[in-house]
Structure 1
Amino acid sequence: MNRRAPQDQPPGRSVPRRFRGPFTRWPRTADAVLAAAMFLPAVLLEEAPGDAMAVRPVTGILQPVLLLFAVAGVALYWRRRTPVAVLCVALLAWAPTLGSSYSTLGPIVIVALYSVGRHAEDNRWGPFGVVAAVAALTVDGMLNSVPWGDIAFGAFVMSGVWYLGRRLRLRAGRAARLRQEQAAEARRIVTEERTHIARELHDVVAHRVSMMTVQAGAARMVAAEDPQGALEAMAAVEEAGRQALDELRHLLGVLRPDAERDGLGPQPGLADLPRLVAEICEAGLDVSFTNNIRTPLPARVDLSAYRIVQEALTNVLKHSGPRTRTQVHLRDASDGITIEVLDDGPGAAFQALPAAHKGPPGHGIVGMRERAHLLGGSLNAQPCPGGGFRLTACLPVTGEPT
């Protein structure tokens, strides 16, 4: 069993939503603003004596150079769709200006390198782009007599931004694969649980049909000598038949189970809970049990209620350990029954452990919630504010699979 409830955790247990910056929320607008922000400094700023920056007179900019700057800046808008092409455009626009006062496209090349690492599908182009950018930076530095230390620092920045983008892409890919694996595991658990539920209901229907056969045979044998007894037996057959049809309709609403069954005979219900509680207490759990349900329950609800209590108690025993005080309350509700399992153990802290310290994932809350949903009900499980864990299930009597 596992107390983690993927995807549909209740509000009390939801994790804080990840921060989403403008490049995630409005990618096209953010890229347009970025392109303009990189284009304007490249056009308006130039190096001044003493490693300072000065504003370049707009009237003194050559038209071909302005065209190169515009092409390189506008290309940044497509840095997500075609990052390699954007880097090539930036390098080609930078090349004619190397060694001159117009060689200010380095920041645009840096952004293009990051985009290649972050968004390029083919990994091979990244190193080639870094080598080409570093070569252009080296040529520009040598033509402008830039110290080798500054050239090396620029080369480090260029290679570093590409590597950063690549690492972010790899991390995002791993996160996406993890989400897919978790979703696939949740679907597998739900499918397996539905099959298990259908198999149990199959046994319920088979048991009722067997009872109908026995009662019909008894009615035939006593029909001549005891007509009243035969009528009572046939009335029991009629009632069992109605219940069997009701359970069969619900069974088909779940799914068509495999023909293989775990065994013959009736499935457990709420009447078997005292024996289950006694077994759990023998295992070391301190359980107090109250059953205030007075309404007769359909077999499917009776069975699912038993299984939910069984899995909840097993969950407490596994994650909180023996000597944990546990309360199990069952009561009638307006349209069905309510099940509440409350413990004071430290099992909620299990969720904070690293994945390497956890055992293989079990059905736990996923399976219990699926049982409740198949009856048209709901299940909520979350840690209590003062410690411990609370599980509440609402099972309608007349619900249908959802």
Structure 2
Amino acid sequence: MRIGILTGGGDVPGTNRCLKAFVERVAHDGHEVVGIRRGWAGLLDYDPDEPDASAERTLVTLDRERVRTIDRSGGTVLHTSRVDPSRVQGFEVPWFLAGRQLGDGPYDLTPHVLRVVDALRLDALVAIGGHDTLSYALRLHHEGVPIVGVPKTMDNDVHGTDYCLGFSTAVTRSVEFIHQLRTSTGSHEHIAVVELFGRHSGETSLVSAYLASVDRALICEVPFDPERLAALLVEDRRRNPSRYAMVTVSEGAYMTGEIPDVADPLGPRETIGAATGAFITHLTGQDVIVQSLGYLMRSGGPDSLDLMVATNFAVMAGDLTLDEERGRLVGLQSGTYGDVPLDVIDRGVKRVDVASLYDAEAYRPTVRTVVDKPMFLY
């Protein structure tokens, strides 16, 4: 078989290990793996009429020698993008397709992608990514492309699996940086606002605050009143013998009265962390440290759990591919590895179970029960 593989969306630690383990699994049986650079953008940028130039730009042969040491670092050696070929903006259209598009866009260039899959003689395709990447994988499945999905996102918000590759390392990084930030926050007797990634799901903020014993946590699922938050943090600071307080905030959190920022999820806006810090200072006169962990959460190599998950997800994806199982998503459910139909992606993104895990009045994790909950909760 000739199998294509790509990584889309945000990079997370463990992706390279997943690529390596997949290649080792299928190469053992004599199959060929073609890496596609920059996620779905790689297929979009491939010109079947100029195969040599396109291959140099968008493809890389992944054999055992090529992947031997890639798992020693984070990120993805295939690079990544957030391009969705079914919704291509005008500036994203490859030059060799630009003159064929009508109207102002966005354009659905799936017919071109299907032509590229045929031109590359791919017997199967493996997509490693989060909800957006896997949503387009589902589109290709409906178009007849043999495809298997691997969930990878530090937001841990993909339905059909209790765990997504990258989440453990992101939380581990967040907890470490939160504890380190305590030294400056406490030394100056300030309030610290720590902004974490998580636009549609507040799980990283919730779990990081839960594990690091942060005073308050703001999540995407529950709008917050800045005046109430400020009063709570002032009281937290007063009660703390070290005279400081901390709050984590998901980048997708929003204040009461706001309209959630969903129209352009990657568009420019003032960060919610900065806005929250400014409100607290205005309302209380208290000095505030605002720290966005951002890409630090997903930088560097994976922890041991993500190494384990990356390896096992890759082996399962390899087995499904070689067994000619199509339209499947590998994952973990109730602590057990398995796979589910890829169309579970149509359920949207997974959200925090507010009723069980969050006090919406006090803005803090309140885990009422962990019975029957997955290891990382949600």
TM superposition score category, shorter chain reference: under 0.3
TM-score (norm 1): 0.21
More strand by share: 2
Structure with greater proportional helix content = 1
Q: TM-score, normalised by structure 2?
A: 0.22
The structure with the larger Rg is 1
